[in-house]
Structure formats: C-alpha cells, structure tokens
Amino acid sequence: MEIKRVVVTGIGAITPIGKTVPEYWDGLRNGVSGADRITRFDPEKHKTKFGCEIKNYDPLDYFEKKDVRKYDLFTQFALVSADEAFKDSGLNEKNFDPDRAGVIYASGIGGINTLASELEQFYTRFDKTPRFNPYFIPKIIADIAPGLISIRYDLRGPNFSTVSACASSAHAIIEAYNYIRLGLADIILTGGAEAPLNEPAVGGFNAIRAISTRNDDPKTASRPFDKDRDGFVMAEGAGTLVLEEYEHAIKRGAKIYGEIVGIGATADAYHMTAPHPEGRGAAKVMELAIKDAGIKPEDIDYINVHGTSTHLGDIAETKAILKVFGDSAYKVSISSTKSMTGHLLGAAGAVEAIASVLAINNSLVPPTINLFNRDPEIDPNLDLTPNKPKEREIKYALSNAFGFGGHNASIIFKKFEQ
C-alpha cells in the first residue's frame, strides 16, 4: 500500500486570546493572558472564580437567531473555527470530491452547558409539567459538531468524534492523518471544541483540586513549570485544521502550512487522573512519533508541551522529555501556550497544533509566560522559553496532549518542502 503525504492547507481558531488565527498568533507572540473573572455565570460561591473565556463573543455575529437556539456553545465554537479553516484552505465545490472529504472532530465534554441548564429547568418547573427542549439531545452529544460541519460543507466522507479527555482533539488529528495517508480520504477537517465554563464543570474540577484558585491574580494563574503553580486554568474555544493529501493539494494550488510526518498514541495505564510520575506513557508516545516520522530526537527543534500548570503533570512531562531526548533535550525549545490560553480540555490538542504550525511558519517559539520562580524539581538546563518568545528556525515541531485516564498523543509537524 502506498503511504500518502499529508499536509495542512487551512487553519481556524477561536480562543481566549483571539477570535481568529491572526489574533490568536498575535496573542501568543506577545505573551497575552486570556484569564479573567468568569462572566458566563456568577462564580462567587465557587472556589475558583476565573477562567479563560472568549472575549466579546456574540453568537449573533456568526449565526441566525434560530440556529443559536439549536447549537450548544461548544458546537458554535466548532462551526466558527471550521468556517475560518475552510475559507482559509481555498476549498470550493469545484476543487474536491465531497465523497472523499470528511470531518473527524473532538470534544472532551460536549454540550455540558446545555445539559446543566436543561436539568436545572427540568427540576425547577414545579408549577408546570416538566419537559425538555426538543433540541436537548442533539445539543449535548459530542459528535454533533462533526455532523454539523459536514452538513455545512457537504463533506460526505468519514464523519465521527473522538473522546479522550484533554487528548481528544490530538487524537482526532491523528485519526484524520491516518485516513488520508492510507488513501481512504483526500481531505479531512479536524480539530476540537470545548465550552466548559459553567457551574458543574468548575465545581467538579474544584472538587478534585485540579484548577487554580488564584482569584486575586487570575492573569498569572496559569504558570507551567513555576514552583508556585496551583492547578490549570479552564478555558473555552476551538481549533480546526484542514488536512489534505499532498498531491491533491498541489494539483489545486493550495497554500500549504506544513506537513504531518509522525504520530504516536499510548496509555499510562496508571491512574484515573494523575500521570505516571516518571512520565512512562509520555516518553513512549514521543518515541513512537519520532520513530513514525523517521527522524532522530535531535531533529526536533520545538516541543509544544501539554504543560497544564499542575504539579505532577509538568514534572512528569519534563522527565519524559529528558528520557527521550537525552543531551539534545537541552537544545530543543520548549513552551506551554496554556500559560496564555488556559487549558481548553478536549480542544487543547488542536489549538496547540495550530500554535506549532504557526511557530514553524514564523520561525518563532511562543513563550511560557508567568514563569517567575522555576520549579527546582525541573532540570534547570531545559529551555522553557520563559516569558519572552524566541526566534529560531523550526524544521520539526512536536505537539503533546495528555488526558485524564492516561491517554497520550503526540504529533510531529514538519516545515513544508515540496
């Protein structure tokens, strides 16, 4: 079987630091924090009162009023980023076969906003017959996002959702990559969306002590690798990539951002929420991606780490990097863009894959902001790109995503060479 090359021909993003790709990249290179007090509900009674929301988001800027009622917020974000990516790719009804174009799209939680609000209304309608909105089920299921994207663009190929907690959209990209490189599709829109800033989600993550409670200083609360970090900052948004078979992209004269050359997927097989303390699964997944790419560890120029700002996670991931890269670990640039965007849960892998592609195209490593007091448990010689971006040529970038349950995913992007 001939293995096909897979390139990125379109990108779209709606994030807490920018509602378009250019705005997102501007936020990354300037070290902007997207964290602030939550406005989607009154957070006063919660231990955590802040998060990374999409700023000045009005669904009526993107959708008809009748459609807003049909779409959960996570689906809205998915459609907004998909629209930017599709337009960016230059695809139209004349330059691709819809039967060989699909959508593989992720969400870790799906329509939790709808679930929360509908249950609250159901149990408080004491004076009336309790009933649910007719769109209740379609709004909450995670796979409605790829379904609606396919309907919008008449994409009739593979269509499904992947769910693996915070690795969900990275796994979606991996699945899309495999479909194309095996010759089963020409084009896949892939990525992920999440909208978890509501009372049950914030309360639930507070209960397991996973998120920061730095309410007095939200903008510096996401501080990966800092010894004073106290958990991640929950975020919302979406990222979409158009993956395309190389020859197909060349034939239609597509703009090419980069090429995917290696992927890996493993499990920690260790704990429900904690990573393996020595980064066992994280190390193996990077090794697999590097092997799949047919390169050596020293060829990697930049690692966009999972880097959530949790005590156990940051240490385990840096241990894994040292195990895989050896002495070359000190030559690679490392950064956590979650220090700026917060943690988009199931959408994180896609948004950070886009950051990796943009880093390659701009020869610029985004910074890890809020790194004030480096954790002494982390090797002091690792280049964590503290607080300021770094100019350097990037030929290969590796993007990591890890999820509760021990799910690990790594993707390697390469600078495009025809």
Which are the catalytic amino acids? 166, 306, 343
Q: Nearest Cα to 74, choosing from 26, 17, 116, 21?
A: 116
Phi first, then psi: give them for residue 348, nearest 5 degrees. Answer: -60, -45
Q: Which residues pair with 37 in a beta bridge?
A: 50
CB distance 347 to 166 below 8 Å: no
Tokens representing residue 216 in the block: 């007095």
Tokens representing residue 404 in the block: 């509760």
Exposed / middle / buried, residue 198 (Cβ in 10 Å: 0-12, 13-18, 19+): buried
Q: What is the distance between the alpha carbons of residues 397 and 297, in angstroms, rounded to a whole number?
A: 11
CB distance 346 to 194 below 8 Å: yes
Question: Sign (positive/negative) of CA torsion 18, 24, 30, 34?
Answer: positive
Exposed / middle / buried, residue 208 (Cβ in 10 Å: 0-12, 13-18, 19+): exposed
Q: What is the distance between the alpha carbons of residues 387 and 326, in angstroms, rounded to a whole number?
A: 25
Compute CA 247 distance to the chain's CA centroid, rounded to the nearest angstrom: 27
Tokens representing residue 17 in the block: 């630091």
Q: For residue 247, which amino acid is it?
A: E
CB distance 343 to 232 below 8 Å: yes
Q: For residue 330, which amino acid is it?
A: Y
Angle at which helices 144-153 and 73-89 pack, to 10 degrees? 40
Which stretch of DSSP H or E encloses residue 316? helix 311-325
